[in-house]
């Protein structure tokens, strides 16, 4: 793209942005789509960090008493994830 075209494209992009903003009450489809997406995907932050970092033995994953005995053993865990991923993996096997 040459400089004249770039300048034209740029100023019309900025003009478009201004009018998209001005049309906030009746936005173009692309903005509506984005807003709909945004509306559909509220992020919930369940707990504040104070609750997480609270230095309370019982607050964690295990109670202190339970964990102290196993502290030096790395916690063993199942080698295959058990959860929703299995459902997606089904789809994967189909596609491969």
Partner 1 sequence: MPTLREVQAAFARGIAFADEDEALGMIEADGIGAAGRLSVYRNTYRSTLVAALRQVYPAVERLVGAEFFEGAALPYVAGEPPGSAYLNEYGGGFAGFLAEFAPAAALPYLADVARLEWAASQAANAPDAPALDPVALARLDAAEQAEASLRPHPSVRLIALAYPAERIWRAVRERDDAALAALDPRPDPHWLLVQRRDDGLGMRTLARAEGDFTAQLFLGVRLGEALERFPGAEFPALLAEHLACGRFAAPEESSR
Judge whether 20 and 27 are in contact, CB under 8 Å.
Answer: yes
* Interaction site with partner 1 (CB under 8 A): 1, 3, 6-7, 9-18, 20-21, 30-31, 34-35, 37-39, 41-43, 45-47, 49, 52-53, 55-57, 59-62, 64, 67-68, 71-72, 74-85, 87-92, 95
Pairwise CA distance, residues 75 & 77, whole Å: 6
Nearer to partner 1, 26 or 46 (CB): 46
Pairwise CA distance, residues 80 & 30, whole Å: 42
Nearer to partner 1, 25 or 61 (CB): 61
Query: What's the min distance (Å) between Cβ of 63 and partner 1?
Result: 9
Judge whether 96 and 89 are in contact, CB under 8 Å.
Answer: no
């Amino acid at each position: 793209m040459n400089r004249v075209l770039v300048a034209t494209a740029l100023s019309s992009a900025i003009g478009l942005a201004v009018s998209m903003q001005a049309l906030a009450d009746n936005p173009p489809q692309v903005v509506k789509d984005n807003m709909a997406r945004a509306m559909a995907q509220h992020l919930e932050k369940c707990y504040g960090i104070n609750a997480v970092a609270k230095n309370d033995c019982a607050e964690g994953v295990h109670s202190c008493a339970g964990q102290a005995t196993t502290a030096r053993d790395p916690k063993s865990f199942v080698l295959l994830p058990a959860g929703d991923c299995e459902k997606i993996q089904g789809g994967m096997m189909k596609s491969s």
